[in-house]
Amino acid sequence: MNKFFKQIITVSVSFLFLIVFLVGCGQKDNKKKAEILEDAKDADIKTIIVTQDERENNSAFEAANKEKMDNEYKRFNNPKYKSYVEHYILPSDFQNNKKTDEIFDKIKKDKEAKVLIVSANKAGLADKVKKLKKDRKDILMISSDLNEDDKKIIKSFDLNFKTGDFSHGERIVDLAKSLGAERFVYFIDESDFKDKKKMELLEGMKNEGKKIGIPIEEVKIPESDNIYQAKAFVSDNIDALVKKYGEDINIYTFNKAFDEILASKVLDEKFFISEFSDKNISPSLMKVYGLKYVTRQARDYIWMNSQIGAFIKLSSDMERRIGATAYKPEFYTMKIATDVGELLKSKKISVKKAYNSVFLENTSNFRNKTGCGFINKYKGVGNYKIIDVDQILY
């Protein structure tokens, strides 16, 4: 396992949502919670998020839009909550477009702006932020998954958060073993063998399997242009595997087209799924299990996970046999940037406090009930964090 990974904390969703992280914690942990949460609801902080449009950078656009929607909901339901989120959208050719300069000029003149979060998959914004910083030293500048030269963003921004792109095959197998799986079986087809990232994932799985002593078994999916035939093959073979080995096997597929099959069959067959091919399975599981939600909840992973956990428990009396990532990583990078920015400004905390990974972990736990690791990308550089959202168990 990558030495920079922090130890994975796995907790069942029912435990995660019915028992607050602080139960059983001592006075020291309560003090930490107070430092992060106390009076935060009375804050009056304006956060501006700058992203590309939905077509050019869907993840960042949707993540920013979600933060804006969440903020509107909080202000509607709590008159004391005054903090405000505004979302600015860049032109398609933002690097050489005067409209980009107009956006930053507008931010410079906005005396209410206290936090600026910038996200883009193309370079060209770091210099504009650096220039803005000279005029508005009172604005906390944060980058979220910004595609720029690292040296530039470290100098231009107060804080930088980037979604971790880890090969985590080891963690998938390790979790399967810790849950009680005695065998790890994966389904794979010819197209998967041509995918470099999938092969890195598979190599990690095999290496970890040898290391911890869990047999790794491969099932090849026959080549076919008919996806329904492939799905039928996977479904039939799952039945055969459970019949052959019993329930204590973990099943994984490399193609998200088969996630629905795993999600539906596990309710009856009760095998293990330490992770789906789509790490951010929550929206898909909501559809598979027929769970309804309103628009605001469509990207609320914490709420969705609680609904999924309750459904699985009630419908199959099954717990701690299905694993997933707690939150869509790209969305969480934007969320933690927004939360940390508001927290630091509303409580007048020095930005250097956020260089401390433990402070960020506590912020994630106490504010969002979501475990997350924060890793310095470079030794001794505290303002550039790679984030790694923890796994959860349903």
Beta bridge partners of 373: 388
262 neighbors 288 (Cβ within 8 angstroms): no
Categorize the per-residue pLDDT at 224 as very low, low, confident or very high, splitting at 50, 70 and 90: confident
How confident is the model over 285-297, as pLDDT tens digits? 999 999 987 666 6
Among candidate residues 244, 248, 241, 183, the one with its CA nearest the CA of residue 217: 183
Q: Which residue has the higher pLDDT, 367 or 138?
A: 138
Per-residue pLDDT at 279 = 77
189 neighbors 230 (Cβ within 8 angstroms): yes
Q: What is each CA distance from 346 to 39, 46, 140, 331, 365, in whole angstroms?
A: 8, 10, 11, 22, 19
Residue type, 72: E
Categorize the per-residue pLDDT at 72 as very low, low, confident or very high, splitting at 50, 70 and 90: confident
Q: Which residue has the higher pLDDT, 27 or 89?
A: 89
Per-residue pLDDT at 31 = 65
Across 251-261, average pLDDT = 94
β-strands 323-325, 113-118 pairing? unpaired
**283: its two tokens:** 């929206």
Beta bridge partners of 47: 85, 115
Per-residue pLDDT at 302 = 84
Range of weakest confidence among 25-39, 61-75, 320-334, 377-391: 25-39
Chain mean position to CA 271: 25
Among candidate residues 313, 253, 255, 263, the one with its CA nearest the CA of residue 283: 263
Per-residue pLDDT at 154 = 97
Chain mean position to CA 234: 28
Phi-psi region of 189 (alpha: psi -120 to 50; beta: other; left: phi over 0): beta
Tell me how far apart the alpha carbons of residues 179 and 394 are, in angstroms, rounded to a whole number: 12
163 sits in which H/E element: strand 159-163
Place of tokens 């500048």: 141
Chain mean position to CA 27: 30
Beta bridge partners of 216: 184
Q: Residues with Cβ < 8 Å from 352, sequence gap 6 or more?
A: 382
How confident is the model over 339-350, as pLDDT tens digits? 999 999 999 999
Across 84-90, average pLDDT = 96
333 neighbors 145 (Cβ within 8 angstroms): yes
Whether this prediction's pTM lies above 0.95 is answered by no
Per-residue pLDDT at 298 = 65
**31: its two tokens:** 């003090």
β-strands 183-188, 113-118 pairing? unpaired
How confident is the model over 125-169, as pLDDT tens digits? 999 999 999 999 999 999 999 999 999 999 999 999 999 877 689
DSSP state of 393: E
Categorize the per-residue pLDDT at 326 as very low, low, confident or very high, splitting at 50, 70 and 90: confident
Per-residue pLDDT at 144 = 98
Tell me how far apart the alpha carbons of residues 389 and 326 are, in angstroms, rounded to a whole number: 7
Give me the chain's average pLDDT, please.
Answer: 88
Counting every residue written for the chain, the total comes to 394
Phi-psi region of 39 (alpha: psi -120 to 50; beta: other; left: phi over 0): left
How confident is the model over 93-120, as pLDDT tens digits? 998 899 999 999 999 999 999 999 999 9
Q: How far apart are the first and last CA of the chain?
A: 24
**DSSP letters of 36-64?**
HHTTGGG---EEEEEE--TTT-HHHHHHH
